[in-house]
Amino acid sequence: IGADNQELGLPGVRRVDPDPTTGKNELVDDRRGATTPNDYANQTGYYITTGLTQYLGHDVELIFDVGLRNKYQESFYEVYNDYIETLLSTLSITPRARLPYQLFGLSNDGIIGVDYYHSNYDSDRALNPSTIHTPYRRLSATQQSTAIYTQNTTQLGEATQLLLGLRI
């Protein structure tokens, strides 16, 4: 389980003139100044992942993880009359099996699994925060991603391993 929160003020253009006669360098002379003091970008999010591990005998390990991640972002750019609210949600399901084994006298660790992700993206654009309920543009997208993979690690020596993998 985890969460985050970030609030950023966006300063806009900070002027730096390389001409030594003008001496203009707002990054040095006015570090806290801003040409767009009302612009901001905020982000909050959370995630939760849980799983189950089942051991079959002493060697085979079956692992099933499922997770949910939500990220909410809002930003405002006063000079463009642009307020944006975005929500990105992702569900992940990642089962896999792990099997340690011996081959030609060498220790091996094999893994085979599937990664499935389903994401929803919704973003509303309005002139300002008070008009977000009647946005001038609404964007929505869905994405699904599925991959099958296998990986094998062979212990060749005390400090040397050979790792081979394939992902489709």
The answer to whether residues 57 and 98 touch, using CB atoms and an 8 Å cutoff, is no
Output the pLDDT for position 25.
Answer: 82
pTM above 0.75, yes or no: yes
pLDDT digit string, tens, across residues 142-159: 999 999 999 999 999 989
Which residues in the chain land under pLDDT 70?
Answer: none
With a CB cutoff of 8 Å and minimum separation 6, the contacts of 88 are 70, 71, 73, 119, 120, 121
The per-residue DSSP string of 28-93 comes to HH-TT--SSTT-EEEEEEEEEEEEEEEEETTTEEEEEEEEEEEEEEEEEEGGGTEEEEEEEEEEEE
CB 164 within 8 A of CB 152: yes
Those residues whose C-beta lies under 8 Å from the C-beta of residue 145, and which sit 6 or more positions away, are 115, 116, 117, 119
**Would you state the pLDDT for residue 23?**
74
Q: Residue 14's pLDDT is what?
A: 78
Residue 157: which H helix or E strand, with range? strand 137-157
Q: pLDDT tens, 20-49? A: 777 788 877 887 888 888 999 999 999 999
